Chains A and B, each alone.
Chain A
Amino acid sequence: MAQKKIRVLLAKPDLDGHDRGAKVVALALRDAGMEITYTGLHNSIDQIVNAAIQEDVDVIGLSIMTGAHLSIAKTLLHRLKRESVDDMCVIIGGVIPKQDIPKLEALGIDGVFPGGAQFDEIAASIKKMIAERGE
């Protein structure tokens, strides 16, 4: 039986328009067999959460370059909770200083992949976290 494809929503929150990383990761995850939706630029957290619910995705991936990752992560997780969404994984990529990775994880982010992270590693991590969620 064919396995169900993992569905990923990639999003660029707020005002930043540097989307090279988001687009490249979208192509890599597509090649790794996942189904990708990319929100495009200038999305509010509400728009991202609505799109994720509408598309019924397994993973939300945020690409953040501006240094605002901690506050964005908090807001997004809060919104998901309010919508009673507890089966989606959230991952973050972009310009993320090393010291902030444990902070993001403590907030409840499932994976942090700063610029330069290997595609194989991102895809493998997603597959693993989805498998663990399913158990």
Chain B
Amino acid sequence: MGVAKYIKNQKDAIEEVIYQSGIKVKPSYGPDDLKEVGFDYEKDLADPGQYPFTRSIHPQGYRSRAWTTRQYTGFGTPAETNARFKMMIAHGQNGLNVAFDLPTQMGLDSDDPKAKGEVGRVGMAVDSLQDFEIAFKDIPFDRIGAGLTINANATVMLAMYQAVAKKYGYPKEKISATPQNDILKEMIGRGAWIFPVEHGVRLVGDSIEYAIKELPRCNPVSLCGYHIRESGATPAQEIGYSFEIARAYIENVVARGLKPDDFVGRFSFNFNVYGNLWEQVAKFRAARKLWAKMLKEEYGVTEPKKLFLRGLFGGGGSGLTKAQPENNIIRSSYYALAAALGGAQTTALCSFDEAFTIPTPRAALLSLRTLEILMDEVGLRDTVDPLAGSYFIETLTKQMEAKIRDEMQKIKDLGGMINAVSTGAIQSEIANQAYTFEKGMQNNELIKVGVNKYAEEDEPEVELHEYNETWAKDQIASVQEVRRTRNNRDVVRCLKKLEQVTRDGQNVMPCLVECCDAYATVGEMTGVFREVFGEWREPNIF
């Protein structure tokens, strides 16, 4: 939402500007500011494509390759979702980002009593491989990669993706999936967690270890500061916390005998864009630099490609408002601009009607067009890192870097991210940030157009996506039919093996692929983990 505090005098002139990360902005910047923050071109920036990659991971930025567009898509049954995938691809989208319904994310089959009312509501319902066969029918796996927005049971979905690709004749070496797979982030915000912390992190480690050996084009984890910021964190916290989460995953995999050099190059990121334009751009530039430095200096990674912070920088849902919803189209355009100026490899926008519910096809298409206009019409591909050298942006980038480091240090002082999440310290910090922010909005210290400034009494109606009750009925009939017609002896054998492998601490991935091949359901596979691991109990922060 409104994210910078503006203190004005009686004549409406701005006397002070304070960004959400706590940085005070001056009325003007010059060479002295760069001196004051100790700016050094070679050390702090270097040329695009050169370490520490502040300017870009590629020498020519969007000239050599425009960003990948990946609108978050999925609702109802796999058939509905497949039709929407194809529509978006036909209109120029070149990546997928799959939305799963809550039962799927929580590892429940569609006919589980706890799934009632939620089947196909906020994403696509998936019960077995049959659903992936329908959802990904006629999708060119070798050309279109898929983000899978799932975390607690991301291992199950990654296995299912491998299984469906094989079914359609694509070898596993050729497929590119990016399961979100960031369980610590789910525990901090968003809340789709199932298992206790150590088991959740073990599953993340299993998928990284497996993907490095078997799925060379997959990105087994997408560190998702996006949701941490949606929960109320500042931009500096968003980045700092994501890096400390990454550290927890790195340590888990290193403990298995792998070297960081073997796997960190496959990490990817998902960051949030809303609010103040300059703070976002500086955030992304500082993040690229800090990630590369952390990997090089602390983990001894040297190969430049493995130091890249590759990310989806996506328009933040928190920035959108139900009031005057068409304003969200304009807001999101600026968020996309910030993502482009920040050098996003991949992007997506929340659609203008998403403050209400999931988007209509028209709204989803508008988001895609917004991204296409930036790349094809207004010149964002002309030259790499166009804001480089600005006294203001370079000073701000240095300041953001310091703020992010501070946030990382705070987590280290709490005993690391796993500890910070287990005790609830971090959830408490973010809830307090969110509260401070909300009070600022309600006191009109932070401005949101159409909400606390220029509000209107009568709002026009918007056309909204409607949930169709028959989707749940169809999906329930479909999973029950799968259970009737599959070879249940195979399923039982695979699930028994999965339980053994899980208990023995072996990597669960190969066995999950076998389970998927046998049409075991998401509820059955996740159920094995529930049985072995138990469920997490949230720390009480009040």
Contacts and interface: CB of A to CB of B under 8 A. Distances in A.
A20 to B, nearest CB: 5
Interface in B427-444: 431-432, 434-435, 438-439, 442
B8 interface: no
Interface in A114-135: 114-116, 118-120
A97 B190 contact: no
A67 B191 CA distance: 17
A30 B189 contact: no
A17 interface: yes
Given A14-B117, A27-B431, A40-B540, A19 B439 contact: no
Contacts of A24: 232, 431, 434-435, 438
B538 interface: yes
Contact of A20 (B108, B230, B355, B541): B230
A123 to B, nearest CB: 12
Interface residues of A, number: 34
Contacts of A27: 431-432, 435
A19 B540 CA distance: 13
B193 interface: yes
Nearest to A27: B435
A122 B157 CA distance: 41
Given A23-B431, A27-B432, A18 B191 contact: yes
Majority-rule SS of B interface residues: loop
Interface residues on B, range: 35 or more
B357 interface: yes
23 contacts: A12-B191, A14-B117, A15-B108, A15-B118, A17-B190, A17-B191, A17-B193, A19-B189, A19-B231, A20-B231, A20-B232, A23-B541, A40-B540, A41-B538, A42-B106, A66-B102, A66-B122, A68-B118, A68-B121, A72-B117, A116-B322, A119-B439, A119-B442
Contact of A40 (B121, B442, B538): B538
Given A20-B189, A116-B451, A30 B542 contact: yes
B322 A115 contact: yes
A38 B540 CA distance: 8
B540 A14 contact: no
Nearest to B538: A40
Contacts of B122: 66
Residue of A20, A30, A114, A120 with highest tally of chain B CB at under 10 A: A20
Interface of B: 102-103, 105-106, 108, 114-115, 117-118, 121-122, 186, 189-193, 230-232, 321-323, 355-357, 431-432, 434-435, 438-439, 442, 451, 467, 538, 540-542
B356 A95 contact: yes
Interface string A54-80: 000000000000111001100000000
B247 to A, nearest CB: 24
A72 B541 CA distance: 25
B324 to A, nearest CB: 12
B190 A18 contact: yes
A72 B540 CA distance: 24
A66 B191 contact: no
A26 interface: yes
A95 B442 CA distance: 18
A114 B121 CA distance: 20
What are the nearest 3 A-B pairs in CB distance? Answer: A17-B191, A15-B102, A23-B431
A17 B356 CA distance: 17
Nearest to B357: A67
A28 B443 CA distance: 13
Interface string A96-123: 0100000000000000001110111000
Given A23-B434, A28-B435, A14 B442 contact: no
Given A17-B191, A24-B434, A38-B542, A66 B114 contact: no
Nearest to B102: A15
Contacts of B321: 116
Contact of B467 (A14, A41, A67, A114): A67
B117 A68 contact: yes
A23 to B, nearest CB: 4
